[in-house]
């Protein structure tokens, strides 16, 4: 199917422009509140425990995605882990080439089910490998605001 | 149980831009062709309409309001599913199974060229509290998964690149594919890394188009069509949305979807009973990972079978004869329905230059792309 007349310039193919400035709030919730307060105030990473599945969730959830139980037990999981997988991102959010490619990784924390997705720092892409031990580098306490970015990055341990 | 068949298909596209047609006109064209193919009048014969759309991709809130008119569904039962096209097909299939309907249609489309900030839309699909603050291009998820998949299975970067060479060459034989091409392995391997080890040519490019299918119950299908294509099994599964706790190695969502579809279809040994498959290849490594998860070979074997030519058009188990998302173009939520479309064309024996010989049973599998673990499978027989 096509138009009756041939289109010879882009301007003839009429389009209308629209946009929507979407802004949202996201309640971090009971589990998120506990997790971010622990990082901000005490510099520790906490997970929530499902005793019947014997799993410690990280990021913590207030329910178990395996057995649907409400989780009430919490433990500190430490700030050390290993690189489960990583990538070197060469483009920005909008797709433009990055001058300084970023290393992103899923860091599995020992004893936890899950881990944290974060940047790796103080390491070059060619030195990065799966299985590499890393530890969290936190921002100075005064700069922390209760966000995943209170962790600056993970660095080789 | 009632039998359900696809008795008509129609599509518009697929191309990188479609400046001449509005999304409604793309849908109208596909629907008109499908009704003509099925020999039905939508105003008189079609009892229910299922469309597949996601508001953010459409640029319109409450998009389901904008669906009925261009598919002939005004004043009739219509609903819209935000999912993969195969989820929509399964919904239509189940409506026929209830016995309340005999003729139901499903529609999915992509007007990706009208979405000016597609990567922002994908980024907005990530967990806002734990993942989004990193402000990384969402392709990082595919890069991390590919890296882990290669590490776990021993699959090589060359094998992933070979998927692109194969599928774009298949697309070259498909007149409706937007990105058919004869590429060298080197061209793929040397395209720039977007998210190591994932390279630019290993990421499917978006295309515009619409696909409509008409489903009918057993007797009605026999009356309408000389060659109804029977839906013999369906399955679908979502793993966890959590990037942190999901399976990064073996596409569990695909395995569970296929196991359900095989169970419904009574398939015990998919390797022997499936003649060919159309499987999601949004990223090149995904074809290999999905092939393994769908039980079409053992874990770590897909890359080797590809190298041996098993998944070529003339191989033991042709994969993505249409060209897949890499060759046809990624059609947003219509991608899964494009996989089904090719299975239907092949089983009808009208796939032209890429027609496979002696095919009786085909599998289509769709995935909703990053950051999801949302999959759906359907088994079809002629
Ligand atoms: Zn549990």
Q: Is residue B329, in this structure, part of any structural domain at all?
A: no
Q: In terms of CA atoms, which chain B residue is nearest residue A148? A: B130
Q: In terms of CA atoms, which chain A residue is nearest residue B139? A: A89
Nearest to A59 by CA among A28, A32, A37: A32
**What digits encode the pLDDT tens for the residues B271-297?**
999 999 999 999 999 999 999 999 999
Q: Tell me the nearest-neighbour CA distance from B225 into chain A, angstroms.
A: 25
| Chain B residues within an 8 Å CB radius of A28 | 129
Q: Tell me the nearest-neighbour CA distance from B218 into chain A, angstroms.
A: 33
Q: Is residue B178, in this structure, part of any structural domain at all?
A: no
In angstroms, rounded to a whole number, what is the distance separating the alpha carbons of residues B245 and A53? 14
Number of A/B CB contacts below 8 angstroms equals: 120
Q: Is residue B171, in this structure, part of any structural domain at all?
A: no
Total domains in chain B come to: 1
Q: In terms of CA atoms, which chain B residue is nearest residue A56? A: B245
| Chain A residues within an 8 Å CB radius of B240 | 65
Q: For domain A25-156, give the CATH number.
A: 2.40.50.140
Note the pLDDT of residue B1: 81
- A9 by DSSP, 3-state: which? coil
Q: In terms of CA atoms, which chain A residue is nearest residue B138? A: A93
Cα dist from B272 to B93, B214, B309, B362, whole Å = 26, 29, 17, 11
For the ranges A17-31, B64-78, B87-101, B287-301, which has the lowest average pLDDT?
A17-31
Of A93, A106, A149, the CB nearest to B133: A149
Once rounded to an integer, what is the mean pLDDT over residues B133-154?
A: 97
DSSP for B295-354 reads TSS-TT-HHHHHHTTTTSTTSSS-B-TT-HHHHH-B-GGGHHHHHHHHHHHHHHT--GGG
pLDDT of A5 above 80: no
For residue A143, give both structure tokens.
Answer: 């700069």
Q: Is residue B49, in this structure, part of any structural domain at all?
A: yes
Q: Which residue of A93, A107, A127 is the best one to mutate when testing the B interface, meaning the one whose CB has the most B CBs within 10 A?
A: A93
Q: Identify the residue with better confidence: B267 or A15.
A: B267
Return the CATH number at B19. Answer: 3.40.47.10
CB contact under 8 A, A148 and B130: yes
pLDDT of A11 above 90: no
CB contact under 8 A, B114 and A7: no
- A92 by DSSP, 3-state: which? coil
Q: Which residue of B244, B247, B371 is the best one to mutate when testing the A interface, meaning the one whose CB has the most A CBs within 10 A?
A: B244
For residue B118, give both structure tokens.
Answer: 């597609």
Once rounded to an integer, what is the mean pLDDT over residues B241-254?
A: 97
Q: Is residue B148, in this structure, part of any structural domain at all?
A: no
| Chain A residues within an 8 Å CB radius of B245 | 57, 65, 113-114
- B32 by DSSP, 3-state: which? helix
- B28 by DSSP, 3-state: which? helix
B100: containing domain: 4-116+206-224
Q: Tell me the nearest-neighbour CA distance from A127 into chain B, angstroms.
A: 14
Average pLDDT over all residues of chain B: 97
Sorting pLDDT into bands at 50, 70 and 90, what band is A1?
Answer: very low
In angstroms, rounded to a whole number, what is the distance separating the alpha carbons of residues B11 and B31? 7
C-beta of residue A21 within 8 angstroms of C-beta of residue B204: no
Q: In terms of CA atoms, which chain B residue is nearest residue A20? A: B59
Q: Tell me the nearest-neighbour CA distance from A101 into chain B, angstroms.
A: 9
CB contact under 8 A, A87 and B198: yes
CB contact under 8 A, A2 and B20: yes
Q: Is residue B22, in this structure, part of any structural domain at all?
A: yes
**What digits encode the pLDDT tens for the residues B60-79?**
999 999 999 999 999 999 99
C-beta of residue B56 within 8 angstroms of C-beta of residue B85: no
C-beta of residue A46 within 8 angstroms of C-beta of residue A34: yes
Domain spans in chain A, listed from the N-terminal domain onward: 25-156
Note the pLDDT of residue A144: 97
Once rounded to an integer, what is the mean pLDDT over residues B304-323?
A: 98
Report the predicted TM-score, pTM, of the whole model to 2 decimal places: 0.96
Note the pLDDT of residue B263: 98
**What digits encode the pLDDT tens for the residues A96-119?**
999 999 999 999 998 999 999 999
Q: Is residue B216, in this structure, part of any structural domain at all?
A: yes
**What digits encode the pLDDT tens for the residues A90-100?**
999 988 999 99
Q: Is residue B57, in this structure, part of any structural domain at all?
A: yes
Note the pLDDT of residue A10: 66
């Amino acid at each position: 199917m096509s138009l009756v007349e041939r289109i010879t310039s882009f301007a003839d193919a009429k389009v209308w422009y629209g946009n929507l400035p979407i802004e949202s709030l996201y309640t971090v919730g009971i589990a998120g509140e506990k997790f971010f307060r622990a990082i901000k105030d005490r510099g520790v990473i906490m997970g929530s425990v499902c005793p019947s599945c014997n799993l410690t969730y990280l990021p913590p959830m207030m329910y178990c995605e395996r057995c649907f139980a409400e989780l009430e037990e919490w433990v500190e999981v430490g700030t050390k882990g290993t690189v489960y997988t990583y990538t070197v991102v060469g483009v920005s959010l909008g797709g433009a080439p990055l001058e300084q490619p970023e290393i992103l990784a899923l860091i599995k924390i020992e004893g936890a089910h899950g881990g944290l997705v974060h940047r790796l720092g103080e390491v070059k892409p060619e030195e990065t490998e799966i299985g590499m031990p890393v530890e969290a580098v936190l921002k100075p306490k005064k700069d922390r605001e209760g966000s995943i970015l209170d962790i600056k990055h993970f660095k080789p341990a | 149980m009632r039998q359900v068949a696809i008795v008509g298909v129609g599509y518009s596209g697929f191309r990188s831009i479609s400046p001449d047609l509005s999304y409604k006109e793309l849908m109208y064209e596909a629907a008109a062709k499908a009704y003509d193919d099925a020999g039905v009048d939508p105003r008189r014969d079609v009892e229910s309409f299922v469309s597949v759309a996601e508001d953010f991709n459409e640029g319109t809130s409450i998009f389901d309001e904008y669906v009925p008119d261009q598919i002939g569904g005004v004043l009739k039962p219509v609903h819209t599913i935000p999912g993969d096209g195969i989820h929509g097909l399964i919904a239509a299939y189940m409506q026929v199974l209830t016995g309340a309907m005999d003729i139901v249609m499903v529609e999915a489309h992509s007007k990706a060229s009208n979405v000016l900030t597609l990567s922002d839309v994908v980024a907005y699909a990530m967990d806002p509290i734990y993942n989004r603050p990193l402000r990384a291009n969402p392709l990082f998820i595919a890069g991390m998964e590919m890296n882990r998949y290669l590490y776990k299975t021993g699959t090589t970067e060359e094998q992933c690149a070979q998927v692109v060479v194969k599928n774009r060459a298949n697309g070259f034989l498909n007149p409706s594919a937007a990105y058919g091409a004869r590429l060298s392995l080197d061209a793929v391997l040397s395209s720039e890394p977007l998210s190591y080890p994932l390279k630019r040519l290993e990421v499917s490019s978006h295309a515009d188009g619409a696909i409509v299918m008409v489903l009918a119950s057993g007797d009605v299908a026999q009356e309408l069509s000389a060659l109804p294509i029977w839906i013999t099994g369906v399955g679908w599964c979502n793993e966890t949305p959590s990037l942190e706790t999901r399976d990064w190695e073996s596409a569990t969502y695909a395995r569970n979807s296929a196991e359900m579809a095989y169970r419904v279809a009574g398939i015990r040994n998919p390797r022997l009973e499936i003649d060919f498959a159309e499987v999601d290849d949004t990223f090149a490594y995904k074809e290999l990972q999905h092939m393994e998860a769908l039980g079409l070979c053992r874990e770590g074997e897909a890359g080797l079978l590809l190298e041996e030519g098993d998944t070529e058009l003339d191989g033991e188990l042709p994969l993505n004869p249409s060209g897949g998302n890499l060759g046809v173009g990624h059609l947003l939520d219509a991608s899964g329905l494009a996989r089904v479309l090719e299975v239907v064309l092949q089983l009808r024996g009208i796939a032209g230059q890429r027609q496979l010989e002696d095919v009786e049973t085909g599998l289509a599998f769709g995935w909703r792309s990053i950051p999801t673990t949302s999959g759906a499978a359907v088994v079809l027989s002629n």
